Amino acid sequence: MTTTTATGETTTKNLALAIDIGGTKAEAALVDSNGQVVPGSRFRRPTGAGSTSDELAAAVRSVLTDALATRAAGTDLLGVGVGSAGPITVARGLVSPLNLAVWRDFPLRQLVVDSVPDVPVTMRMDGECITLAEHWVGAAVGYDNVMGMIVSTGIGGGLILEGSAIAGPTGNAGHIGHVEVGGFDDPCLCGGIGCVEAIASGPKTVAWANRQGWTGARGEDLAAAYAAGDPIAISAVERSGRAIGQAIASAAALDDLDIVAIGGGFSRVTPDLFRFIRAAIAKRVAFGFVTKVKVVPSALSDAGPLIGSAALIHRAEMIA
Amino acid sequence: MTTTTATGETTTKNLALAIDIGGTKAEAALVDSNGQVVPGSRFRRPTGAGSTSDELAAAVRSVLTDALATRAAGTDLLGVGVGSAGPITVARGLVSPLNLAVWRDFPLRQLVVDSVPDVPVTMRMDGECITLAEHWVGAAVGYDNVMGMIVSTGIGGGLILEGSAIAGPTGNAGHIGHVEVGGFDDPCLCGGIGCVEAIASGPKTVAWANRQGWTGARGEDLAAAYAAGDPIAISAVERSGRAIGQAIASAAALDDLDIVAIGGGFSRVTPDLFRFIRAAIAKRVAFGFVTKVKVVPSALSDAGPLIGSAALIHRAEMIA
């Protein structure tokens, strides 16, 4: 339903319920068809590592119920979009978030269907949702070949290729964090060698700096040390930026990307991180189709994951 | 046009003219809608490194004219499919094959349009064509998420994701040869570090064996040495198989692939190559969506590239 205000501005009463499940929190909100979170509709509950499966499920039910309860009369609920940390099994609606060990093949989609029975429910990996959000209202508006990327405690992402969101047969396409990087041999928890997540996530960058003698503990400390000109901090950030750039170059060689939008806490360690990333990509001198890829900071607010979950409903035409 | 023979077998009179341009030859043939090369219609001319641009163009005109001249009365020419070594610029119909230095942004598509003016002409990178052929009549029939791959003097490939051929905005998607490999730092001609092509192509594998003291000169020699149990040859093939497997694991993490079909001369160095490839992928123990990927030999004849070029016409619905 679309209404026009007295001033001629077009607003929408078509809402999606957006749910985002991560390693530290479950969130829900109502999101309109312009990609705006409805004020007052956003709710959050922690999903601590000590939670039981039932406690996690209760947290999800709580936030979605609270968000739905704010829905105004005269609005339409089009559906529910659910983004989850991966891996997932999209066809069966199961999630196994690496950082929520008590959920392995947990039927998250069915939990949501049971809670909101009368509308479509679409579930995808959080990296795909973030990418849809960048494409909808973020840094990748107008591009058909996009990788969204989060650099935080882990490194994840998602893909839009030739204008369509690529989930993959299991829903796990976009795992850029587990693309290997030449010249690095850091062991990865997935079993790989030199995966970019094992090199360049916030905690892994801090750990590398610690091994060189730097004594800080967190990404925020590293950001401060970098800003103060600490040589180990500078080396650590340069090393991680180089690894991220090399991983993006491989992804661009394989998928011929237009643009990569990078968010996540550690992506803001210093604006120079993007300079290091771009310098690594620029080494692929023989391949203009690789060096053409734009690498830009995310243009999403911290509601980006929710907006992306809502895109599963509002922009359903982009979902295979 | 479809006709039914006296025995009830359905045959087709709908033909595509298929053209394949590589570093050593230009080929053309007529291909029917069952993916069969029409007997007697296949022509080949060398494209040597010493050729001028005009000589290359003449070779292309020669093979396409010869192939077209064999077309029987009563058949329909639906269009022309052109596969070319990359990089290419698909929107402008230009090709810059790495191994044909005199062609840089050469207007190959226009050359074909001028030669065969009254039908559609579609041009894509050869790796994409090979992948379409595997999906049509080869080892990847029935799969929606496919990477075709050639391991030969170089390493190339193409992608079908969610049932659609992915060309990418420039037509260069599928450059698996320039995905980096963790733990390797071999310099690549593209400017990258540890690209799988720089490690595991036939010539690069031979060169590595030579550096270890093996004295053979060609991939065929290495195959014979491997079969005879030469320890350096075994190490060299294992090393290349491991690198190929790691590159495939990265591609599977990013694109969530069902199956990878590998052809090209060096892929036949020994059947054990596939064992080494699969062993490297199996290391990604935490990610079932990566280890699920099937890796199989190509099921195409040496007409695979032509059949793939014809698929650009006969299976146009798969092309974005």
Cβ burial A116-142 (10 Å sphere, 16+ → b, else e): beeeebbbbbbbbbbbbbbbbbbbbee
A5 confidence band (pLDDT: 50, 70, 90): very low
pLDDT at B11: 54
Q: CB B180 to CB A182 under 8 A? A: yes
Order of strands across the sheet that contains A121-125: A43-46, A25-32, A14-21, A76-84, A121-125
**Which of B256, B278, B283, B285 is the best mutation test for A, with the most CBs of A within 10 A?**
B256
Total domain count for chain B?
Answer: 2
Three-state DSSP class for residue B11: strand
- Whether B146 and B257 share a structural domain: yes
Q: How far apart are CA B250 and CA A239, in angstroms?
A: 20
| Residue B6 at interface with chain A, using a CB cutoff of 8 Å | no
Instruction: Please report which helix (H) or strand (E) contains residue A211, including its range.
Output: helix A202-211
* A320, part of any domain: no
Q: CB A145 to CB B164 under 8 A? A: no
Final residue before a domain boundary, out of A94, A124, A154: A124
Are B219 and B225 contacting, i.e. CB atoms less than 8 angstroms apart? no
Half-sphere exposure of B269 (CA within 13 A, CB side): 33
Q: CB B172 to CB A256 under 8 A? A: yes
| Residue B55 at interface with chain A, using a CB cutoff of 8 Å | no
Torsion, Cα B234 B237 B240 B246, to 10 degrees, reads -80
Three-state DSSP class for residue B157: strand
The yes-or-no verdict on residue A281 having pLDDT over 80 is yes
- Counted across chains A and B, CB pairs separated by less than 8 A come out at 211
* B261, part of any domain: yes
Q: How far apart are CA A266 and CA A255, in angstroms?
A: 25
Average pLDDT over residues B52-77: 96
Strands (E) across chain B are located at 2-4, 10-12, 14-21, 25-32, 43-46, 76-84, 88-89, 94-95, 121-125, 146-151, 155-161, 164-166, 259-263, 294-297
Tokens of A46: 């922690």
The model's pLDDT over A68-103, given as tens digits with 9 standing for 90+, comes to 999 999 999 999 999 999 999 999 999 999 889 899
Average pLDDT over residues B34-43: 97
pLDDT at A8: 45
Question: What residues in A contact B284, CB-CB < 8 Å?
Answer: 178, 190-192
**Minimal C-alpha gap between B278 and chain A (Å):** 13
Q: Which domain holds residue A200?
A: 139-297
Q: CB A288 to CB B173 under 8 A? A: no
The yes-or-no verdict on residue A1 having pLDDT over 80 is no
Question: What residues in B contact A146, CB-CB < 8 Å?
Answer: none
The model's pLDDT over B113-165, given as tens digits with 9 standing for 90+, comes to 999 999 999 999 999 999 999 999 999 999 999 999 999 999 999 999 999 99
The CATH number for B241's domain is: 3.30.420.40
Amino acid at residue number B195: C
- Whether A262 and A210 share a structural domain: yes
Using a 10 angstrom Cβ sphere, with 0-12 exposed, 13-18 middle and 19 or more buried, the burial of residue B7 is exposed
- Whether B117 and B167 share a structural domain: no
* B201, part of any domain: yes
The model's pLDDT over B94-126, given as tens digits with 9 standing for 90+, comes to 999 988 989 999 999 999 999 999 999 999 999
- Whether A21 and A93 share a structural domain: yes
- Whether A219 and A284 share a structural domain: yes
pLDDT at B4: 47
Tokens of B282: 């199996």
Is the preceding peptide bond at A97 cis, omega within 30 degrees of 0?
A: no
Closest by Cβ to A174, choosing from B186, B246, B254? B254
- N-terminal to C-terminal alpha carbon distance within chain A: 25
Final residue before a domain boundary, out of A124, A154, A184: A124
The yes-or-no verdict on residue A58 having pLDDT over 80 is yes
Q: CB B179 to CB A175 under 8 A? A: no
The yes-or-no verdict on residue B8 having pLDDT over 50 is no
* A130, part of any domain: no
pLDDT at B49: 74
Tokens of A257: 């990307």
| Residue A65 at interface with chain B, using a CB cutoff of 8 Å | no
The yes-or-no verdict on residue A284 having pLDDT over 60 is yes
Q: CB B179 to CB A254 under 8 A? A: yes
* B307, part of any domain: no
The yes-or-no verdict on residue A234 having pLDDT over 50 is yes
Q: CB A178 to CB B246 under 8 A? A: no
Closest by Cβ to A172, choosing from B179, B189, B256? B256
The yes-or-no verdict on residue A9 having pLDDT over 80 is no
The model's pLDDT over A110-147, given as tens digits with 9 standing for 90+, comes to 999 999 999 999 999 999 999 999 999 999 999 999 99
Three-state DSSP class for residue B269: coil
* A318, part of any domain: no
| Residue A144 at interface with chain B, using a CB cutoff of 8 Å | yes
Closest by Cβ to B182, choosing from A175, A180, A249? A180
- Whether A120 and A159 share a structural domain: no
- Whether A116 and A155 share a structural domain: no
**Minimal C-alpha gap between B140 and chain A (Å):** 15
What are A95's strand-pairing partners? A88, A106
Residue with tokens 């199961």: A94
Phi, psi of B111 (to 5 degrees): -55, -45
Q: How far is CA B280 from CA A176, A247, B196, B273, B283, in A?
A: 18, 19, 13, 11, 6
Q: CB B166 to CB A161 under 8 A? A: yes
pLDDT at A214: 98
Average pLDDT over residues B206-226: 98
What are B164's strand-pairing partners? B161
How many CB atoms are closer than 10 A to CB A218? 12
pLDDT at B283: 98
Three-state DSSP class for residue B122: strand
Instruction: Please report which helix (H) or strand (E) contains residue B53, including its range.
Output: helix B53-69
- Distant-in-sequence contacts of A22-26, Cβ < 8 A, 24+ apart: A22/A47, A22/A85, A22/A97, A22/A99, A22/A126, A22/A305, A23/A47, A23/A49, A23/A85, A23/A97, A23/A98, A23/A99, A23/A100, A23/A153, A24/A48, A24/A99, A26/A56, A26/A59, A26/A60, A26/A62, A26/A63
Q: CB B185 to CB A181 under 8 A? A: no
For a pLDDT cut of 70, what percent of chain A falls above it? 96
pLDDT at B210: 98
The model's pLDDT over A137-162, given as tens digits with 9 standing for 90+, comes to 999 999 999 999 999 999 999 999 99
- N-terminal to C-terminal alpha carbon distance within chain B: 25
* B222, part of any domain: yes
Nearest CA in chain A to B143: A169
Final residue before a domain boundary, out of A78, A95, A124: A124
Are B306 and B27 contacting, i.e. CB atoms less than 8 angstroms apart? yes
What are B184's strand-pairing partners? none
Q: CB A166 to CB B161 under 8 A? A: yes
- Whether A154 and A274 share a structural domain: yes
For a pLDDT cut of 90, what percent of chain A falls above it? 91
Give the angle subtended at the CA of A129 by the CAs of B294 and A100, to the nearest 5°: 75
**Which of A250, A259, A290, A318 is the best mutation test for B, with the most CBs of B within 10 A?**
A250
In sequence order, the 6+-apart residues with CB closer than 8 A to the CB of A211 are: none
Q: How far apart are CA A250 and CA B53, in angstroms?
A: 31
Q: How far is CA A154 from CA A103, A124, A157, B212, in A?
A: 18, 18, 10, 39
pLDDT at A49: 74
- To the nearest whole number, what is the mean pLDDT of chain B? 95
Question: What residues in A contact B278, CB-CB < 8 Å?
Answer: none
Are A313 and A78 contacting, i.e. CB atoms less than 8 angstroms apart? yes
- Whether B105 and B63 share a structural domain: yes
**Minimal C-alpha gap between B9 and chain A (Å):** 35
Q: How far apart are CA B8 and CA B82, in angstroms?
A: 33
- Whether A166 and A108 share a structural domain: no
Q: How far apart are CA A292 and CA A267, in angstroms?
A: 21
The yes-or-no verdict on residue A48 having pLDDT over 80 is no
Instruction: Please report which helix (H) or strand (E) contains residue B179, including its range.
Output: none
Q: How far apart are CA A86 and CA A23, in angstroms?
A: 10
**Minimal C-alpha gap between A251 and chain B (Å):** 7
Q: Are strands B88-89 and B94-95 parallel, antiparallel or unpaired?
A: antiparallel
- To the nearest whole number, what is the mean pLDDT of chain A? 95
- Whether A19 and A158 share a structural domain: no
B48 confidence band (pLDDT: 50, 70, 90): confident
- Whether A196 and A52 share a structural domain: no
**Minimal C-alpha gap between B216 and chain A (Å):** 28
The yes-or-no verdict on residue B228 having pLDDT over 60 is yes
Q: CB A175 to CB B287 under 8 A? A: yes
Q: CB B169 to CB A144 under 8 A? A: yes
Closest by Cβ to B285, choosing from A174, A184, A191? A191
Question: What residues in B contact A189, CB-CB < 8 Å?
Answer: 286
Amino acid at residue number B217: A
Residue with tokens 């494409």: A135
A11 confidence band (pLDDT: 50, 70, 90): low
Q: How far apart are CA B257 and CA B113, in angstroms?
A: 35
The yes-or-no verdict on residue B279 having pLDDT over 90 is yes
Q: How far apart are CA A291 and CA B41, in angstroms?
A: 41
* B101, part of any domain: yes
Closest by Cβ to B289, choosing from A87, A181, A184? A87
| Residue-by-residue DSSP string for A62-79 | HHHHHHHHTPPTT-EEEE
Q: How far apart are CA A217 and CA A275, in angstroms?
A: 24
Q: ipTM of this model?
A: 0.94
In sequence order, the 6+-apart residues with CB closer than 8 A to the CB of B82 are: B19, B20, B21, B108, B109, B112, B121, B122, B123, B124, B309, B312
